[in-house]
Amino acid sequence: MPEATLGGSAAAIWASEGAEPGTDGALTRAGGVRGEADIALGSEELAKIGLRFEVDGKIATITLDRPEKRNAQTFATWSGLARIGRTLPEQVRVVVVRGEGPSFSAGIDLRMFTPEGVPGQGSFASAAVLDGDTFGERITEAQEGFLWLRRPDIVSIAVVQGHAIGAGFQLALSCDLRILADDAKFCMKEPALGLVPDLTGTKPLVDLVGVARAVEICLTARVVDAGEALRIGLAEQVVPREELEAATRRLASALLTTDRDAAAATKRLLQGAVGRTLAEQCAAERAEQAVRIRALFGGNAAGAQEPSQV
C-alpha cells in the first residue's frame, strides 16, 4: 500500500485540511464556501490512505482498508475521515464504519513510535518538539475525523470483528451504535504505551459504562471480549462472524424506517438528555415537538421556541 499524506508533511495534513476544527462549521455537511478540504476525495486518493468510501442510497460505508496491517491508523486516516465527514452526500442517513480483514483496527500505526515515523507524516518524536498551539491543532484535526460521526442528522454504526485496539476502540466508540462479531475484542492500550486516549473515546466510554468501569478498562489495558461488551453496554448486538454483514444491513434498513427530520430531532434530544435537568429536557422536548408539528401540519411559528434556544 503506497504511503500518502494528502498533500505533503504532517504539518500540511493537520494544518491545511482543517475546516475550522472544533467549530460547528466543521460538523455540517458540505456547503457554503468550499475550500480544498471541502472537496470529496476520490477513490484513488482514499485507497492511498487505506480507506474506501461507498454510498448506496441513504447508506454510506467507510471501510478501513489496510487489512495486511490490521487497518492500523495514521494521521492521514483521520484527516481522510474528517474529509469524508465534511463532504458527506446530502442524502446519507446511516454511516457504517467497518474494517477489512481479520481485525477492525489494530490502532495507531506503531511506526509512529519509531524515530523514522510514518513516511511523510512524522512521528511522536517530531510531534514532541512542536509548540503547544500547533500540537493542539493537529490533535483537533485528528479528533475531527471521529467527532462528525455523532452528528444528529446521521446514525453511525461501527461494525467490529477481531481486534479494535487503541484508536480502533476509539473509532468504534465514536459511532452511535456498535454491532460486534462474536470474536470482537476491545482494548484501550494507550495507557500501557504511556499515552492517553485522545481520539474522542473517553467521553463515550464513560457515558456507556460509567467512570469506575472505564477506569478499570483503561488503566489495566485489558481485553474486553464481545460477550462482556454486550453485557456492559459497549455493544448493541453480538452476532456470529458470518452474520455480521447481514445484521448490519438489517439494522441500517431499520434505521431508515423513521422520518429523517424526526430522527435527527430525537437524536438531538437523546444526546442532550444527560447534561440537562428533567425540567430542561421537558422544555427541549416541547421545543423540538413544536418544530415537528409545524413542519408536519403547518401553522404559525410565532410564540414557539426554537430547539436551539432551550
Please report the sign of the dihedral spanned by the C-alpha atoms of residue 134, residue 110, residue 199, residue 249: positive
CB atoms within 10 A of CB 47: 16
User: Which residues within the stretch 186-225 sit at the binding site for ligand ACO (CB under 6 A)?
Assistant: 189-190, 193, 195
Spatial neighbors of 283 by CB under 8 A, at least 6 apart, are 305, 310
Selected binder of ligand ACO within 85, 120, 122, 166 (CB under 6 A):
166
Q: Least distance to ligand ACO from the beta carbon of 170, Å? A: 8
Residue number, 18 or 107, with CB nearest to ligand ACO: 107
Which triple of cell numbers denotes residue 143? 479528533
User: Which residues within the stretch 64-93 sit at the binding site for ligand ACO (CB under 6 A)?
Assistant: 69-70, 72
Q: Residue 18 interacts with ligand ACO (CB under 6 A)?
A: no
Q: Residue 171 interacts with ligand ACO (CB under 6 A)?
A: no
CB atoms within 10 A of CB 231: 12
Selected binder of ligand ACO within 27, 106, 180, 214 (CB under 6 A):
106
Residue number, 70 or 178, with CB nearest to ligand ACO: 70
Q: Residue 117 interacts with ligand ACO (CB under 6 A)?
A: no
Q: Least distance to ligand ACO from the beta carbon of 85, Å? A: 20
Residue number, 93 or 185, with CB nearest to ligand ACO: 185
Tell me the residue nearest to ligand ACO as measured from the CB: 166
Cα 229 vs. chain centroid, distance in angstroms?
A: 18
Percentage helix, strand, coil, to 5, in the chain?
A: 50, 15, 35
Residues constituting the chain? 310
Burial 98-109 (b: 16+ CB within 10 A, else e): bbbbebbbbbbb
Selected binder of ligand ACO within 39, 110, 295, 296 (CB under 6 A):
110
Residue number, 86 or 185, with CB nearest to ligand ACO: 185
Q: Least distance to ligand ACO from the beta carbon of 197, Å? A: 7
Q: Least distance to ligand ACO from the beta carbon of 81, Å? A: 14
Distance, CA of 68 to CA of 73 (rounded, Å): 12
**φ, ψ at 199 (rounded to 5°):** -105, 45
Q: Residue 172 interacts with ligand ACO (CB under 6 A)?
A: no
Site size for ligand ACO (CB under 6 A)? 18
CB atoms within 10 A of CB 129: 8
| Integer CA distances (angstroms), 70 to 110, 210, 256, in order | 11, 29, 31
Binding site for ligand ACO (CB under 6 A): 69-70, 72, 102-103, 106-110, 163, 165-167, 189-190, 193, 195
